[in-house]
């Protein structure tokens, strides 16, 4: 495959909503390219793409996986197809983001019985953001009550009239007819094919002044002019060709493969820029540049880094520079991946995706370059977590291995985050949904033999005051020898946002000597670690120390620290203390018919709707809700909207907990304290 020119390489991702037929299309492409001796099936567990135990059990794609095959075009030239199957389930959208960053364009799969769904829109929006060209593959036309014209209308309604048919299913559903076909067109399709051909010709001609002039003069474009124009139109986003396929029957697959040569750009056609906006040359003689978009721990060869080659030639048994860490890496072998099978390669060029075993320092989102060359690829932007669970080891033996196991799964999946909450003393794992986190737990079990338990996280509540309170404490202790003495008078009140200092020294006349005031302040900080309501940390308070007394012999820093801490607690208890909870800002996206359910559910979560609008064909709700009500919202929203809803979440502020809710929290805190 290394002798195939870069101009004959096509690198793409298969993307779309869950259940649209992406993996079936991937298996059909692999079978047609001779990568498999039979057509793989997700349903019976024989899929070449969904080969992991977790994917077979769930019958869902979880991990993005690359394939490489060679086809002969009608002109007789060998064409290399490098394609990546991606998940459709929203919990694994991070894999989609990684794959989209590693390809030149995407095939968006739309099921005719479902039409454009939220997963389709998310994938489309991602490609728009990354500047990736697209084509659409319509599947499911063999299902009852499906119609290509109706599906196309839905696609054009969602994404515009730049979506033009490039192939049409024959009436007997045993084959397809290309929109550029010059013969063999059934009478029933003649008019539709002619319309599509004219639309494609018009968009191809619009990419070049000479071609548009030729088109307007009524002259036919040559096959070469047509292909060049179509590729330019697709690359510029002016054209999105729409194909028909029945993957399980193999219908439309050969034509789809041929269409990659006619419509879609090669790596040399793409304007690839590094993070400094410098052009990355795609030729084999250009300096090597590659980016790591995924890593995986293979049970046989250890860690594999998946590298997309953007330019130059990547050779086995060579040395390259990890520009992200300014560290040399020794490249032993390059592997071409075919499901769980691997084959060695001597070299790879632009458009290739290869796996590199046992790199010492290289991780996801890092760039490898030829020695002496400095180009850093643009980083992959992963989505922020929206689901959170507390994770703990099942046994002491698991506890000893837990840290390493968590680190391992997070290294493979940058969307997963793990941190220890210093306040709640819990280890929190976060991801894009409960299923996302559950899969991570399964991987820890199978790869690291670690059993863990998942719990709903504790909320990091805070406390503050709403009024002015006077506090006083005299610390006096005499037990033989030198005693302890320190007395502090202070005021506790709410701190205004415009006030910079929370501690005010208002001592007059030296009633507390200046050398003891730092100790008093330390005592206040200590007292703020556990407030007067339920023992949570205190925030947004202002403390003014205005009086006190000392003893020439018995006063000490420790005495004034204790006096300051207890005086603060006394003052806070009198300053109308309240419990605070974290409030999250939400952006919820769902179809219009789900708005009533979402609004009603949000009120049950003590949430507040701030506004509504429309975006990408979906209704958008902006809202605020307490974090305590949102730990499992990702799964609950999907259930409420039949998988059509999604949301983004970010911390907004702390706000007062309603009295009826606060009572339960205080009671629970008291119970936990007794148990401790």
pLDDT at 142: 93
Q: What SS3 state is found at 472?
A: strand
Q: Give the up-direction half-sphere exposure of residue 572: CA atoms within 13 A in the CB hemisphere.
A: 32
CA-to-CA distance for 462 and 530, rounded, in angstroms? 9
CA-to-CA distance for 629 and 388, rounded, in angstroms? 11
CA dihedral (595, 599, 601, 603) in degrees, to 10, reads: 180
pLDDT at 480: 66
Please check whether residue 102 is in contact with residue 70, taking contact to mean a CB–CB distance below 8 angstroms. Answer: no
pTM of the predicted model, to two decimals?
0.88
Mention every residue, 6+ apart, whose C-beta is less than 8 A from residue 354: 306, 307, 309, 314, 334, 335, 336, 337, 345, 348
CA-to-CA distance for 153 and 474, rounded, in angstroms? 80
- How is residue 552 written in tokens? 């020439």
**How buried is 86 (Cβ within 10 angstroms: 0-12 exposed, 13-18 middle, 19+ buried)?**
buried
pLDDT at 676: 61
CA-to-CA distance for 580 and 453, rounded, in angstroms? 28
pLDDT at 520: 96
Q: How far apart, in Å, are the Cα atoms of 563 and each of 166, 335, 415, 492, 503? A: 81, 68, 47, 15, 16
CA-to-CA distance for 405 and 401, rounded, in angstroms? 6
DSSP H/E element including 118: helix 118-130
Please check whether residue 92 is in contact with residue 65, taking contact to mean a CB–CB distance below 8 angstroms. Answer: no
- How is residue 96 written in tokens? 């989609």
Q: Average pLDDT of each block of 10 consecutive residues along the chain (676 residues)?
A: 87 95 96 93 88 89 96 88 96 96 98 93 94 97 94 96 96 92 87 93 92 86 90 96 96 96 95 93 96 88 92 96 94 92 93 95 95 93 93 92 92 94 89 93 91 93 96 86 89 94 93 94 95 93 96 91 96 96 95 92 94 88 95 89 88 94 89 73
CA 549 from chain centre, in angstroms, equals 59
Q: How far apart, in Å, are the Cα atoms of 432 and each of 85, 114, 130? A: 19, 24, 21
pLDDT at 356: 96
pLDDT at 483: 84
DSSP H/E element including 244: strand 240-244
Which of 618, 613, 622, 624 has the alpha carbon at shortest distance from 641? 618
pLDDT at 74: 81
pLDDT at 477: 86
pLDDT at 218: 84
Residue 182: CB atoms within 10 A of its CB come to 8
pLDDT at 2: 63
Going edge to edge, which strands form the sheet with 65-72? Answer: 65-72, 78-85, 9-16, 105-111, 134-139, 240-244, 163-165
DSSP string, 185-235: --HHHHHHHHHHHHHHHHHHHTT-HHHHHHHHTTPPPPHHHHHHHHHHHHH
Domains of the chain, CATH where assigned: 6-185+242-263 (3.40.50.300), 289-370 (2.40.30.10), 387-455 (3.30.70.870), 463-575 (3.30.230.10), 579-661 (3.30.70.240)
Please check whether residue 212 is in contact with residue 203, taking contact to mean a CB–CB distance below 8 angstroms. Answer: no
CA 507 from chain centre, in angstroms, equals 54
**How buried is 163 (Cβ within 10 angstroms: 0-12 exposed, 13-18 middle, 19+ buried)?**
buried
CA 98 from chain centre, in angstroms, equals 8
pLDDT at 314: 97
Strands 289-298 and 367-370: antiparallel
Q: How far apart, in Å, are the Cα atoms of 151 and each of 32, 140, 349? A: 26, 10, 38
> What is the phi/psi pair of residue 127, to 5°?
-65, -40
Plot region of 494 (φ>0 → left; ψ -120 to 50 → alpha; else → beta): beta
């Amino acid at each position: 495959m290394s002798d195939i020119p870069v101009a004959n390489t096509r690198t793409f991702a298969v993307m779309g909503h869950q259940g649209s037929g992406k993996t079936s299309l991937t298996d059909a492409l692999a079978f047609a390219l001779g990568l498999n001796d039979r057509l793989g099936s997700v349903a019976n567990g024989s899929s070449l793409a969904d080969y992991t135990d977790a994917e077979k059990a769930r019958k869902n794609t979880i991990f993005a996986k690359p394939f490489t095959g060679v086809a002969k075009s009608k002109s007789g030239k060998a064409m290399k197809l490098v394609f990546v199957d991606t998940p459709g389930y929203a919990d694994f959208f991070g894999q989609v983001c990684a794959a989209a960053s590693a390809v030149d364009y995407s095939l968006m799969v739309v099921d005719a019985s479902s039409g454009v769904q939220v997963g389709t829109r998310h994938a489309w929006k991602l490609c728009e953001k990354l500047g990736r060209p697209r084509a659409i593959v319509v599947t499911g036309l063999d299902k009852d009550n499906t119609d290509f014209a109706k599906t196309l209308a839905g696609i054009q309604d969602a994404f515009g009239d730049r979506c033009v048919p490039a192939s049409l299913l024959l009436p007997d559903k045993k084959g397809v007819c290309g929109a550029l076909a010059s013969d063999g067109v059934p009478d029933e399709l003649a008019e539709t094919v002619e319309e599509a051909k004219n639309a494609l010709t018009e968009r191809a001609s619009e990419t070049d002044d000479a071609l548009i002039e030729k088109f307007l003069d009524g002259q036919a474009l040559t096959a070469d002019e047509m292909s060049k124009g179509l590729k330019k139109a697709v690359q510029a986003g002016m054209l999105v060709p729409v194909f028909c396929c029945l993957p399980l029957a193999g219908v439309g697959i050969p034509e789809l493969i041929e269409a990659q040569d006619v419509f879609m750009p090669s790596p040399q056609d793409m304007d690839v820029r590094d993070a400094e906006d410098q052009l990355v040359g795609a030729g084999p003689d250009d300096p090597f540049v590659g980016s790591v978009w995924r890593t995986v721990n293979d049970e046989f060869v250890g860690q594999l880094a998946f590298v997309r080659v953007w330019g130059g030639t990547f050779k086995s048994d060579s040395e390259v520079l990890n520009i992200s860490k300014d560290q040399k890496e020794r490249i032993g072998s390059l592997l071409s991946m075919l499901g769980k099978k691997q084959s060695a390669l001597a070299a790879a060029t632009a458009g290739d995706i290869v796996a590199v075993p046992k790199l010492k320092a290289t991780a996801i989102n890092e760039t490898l370059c030829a020695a002496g060359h400095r180009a850093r690829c643009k980083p992959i932007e992963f989505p922020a977590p929206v689901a959170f669970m507390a994770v703990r080891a099942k046994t002491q033996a698991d506890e000893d291995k837990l840290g390493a196991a968590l680190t391992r799964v997070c290294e493979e999946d940058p969307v997963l985050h793990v941190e220890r909450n210093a306040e709640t003393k819990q280890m929190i794992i976060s991801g894009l949904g409960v299923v996302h986190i559950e899969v991570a737990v399964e991987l820890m079990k199978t790869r690291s033999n670690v059993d863990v338990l998942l719990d709903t996280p504790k909320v990091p509540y805070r406390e503050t005051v709403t009024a002015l309170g006077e506090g006083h404490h005299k610390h006096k202790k005499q037990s033989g020898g030198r005693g302890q003495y320190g007395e502090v008078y202070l005021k506790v009140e709410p701190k205004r946002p415009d006030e910079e200092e929370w501690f005010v020294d208002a001592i007059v006349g030296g009633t507390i000597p200046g050398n003891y005031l730092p100790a008093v302040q330390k005592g206040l900080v200590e007292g703020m670690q556990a407030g007067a309501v339920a023992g949570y940390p205190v925030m947004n308070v202002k403390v003014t120390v205005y009086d006190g007394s000392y003893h020439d012999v018995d006063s000490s820093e420790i005495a004034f620290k204790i006096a300051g801490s207890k005086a603060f607690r006394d003052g806070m208890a009198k300053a109308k203390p309240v419990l605070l909870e974290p409030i999250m800002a939400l952006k919820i996206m769902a179809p219009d018919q789900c708005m009533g359910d979402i609004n009603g559910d949000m009120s049950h979560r003590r949430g507040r709707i701030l506004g509504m609008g429309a975006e990408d064909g979906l209704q958008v709700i902006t809202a605020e809700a307490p974090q305590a009500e949102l730990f499992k919202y990702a799964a609950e929203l999907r259930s409420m909207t039949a998988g059509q809803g999604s949301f983004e979440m970010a911390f907004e502020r702390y706000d007062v907990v309603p009295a009826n809710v606060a009572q339960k929290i205080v009671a629970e805190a008291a119970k936990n304290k007794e148990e401790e």
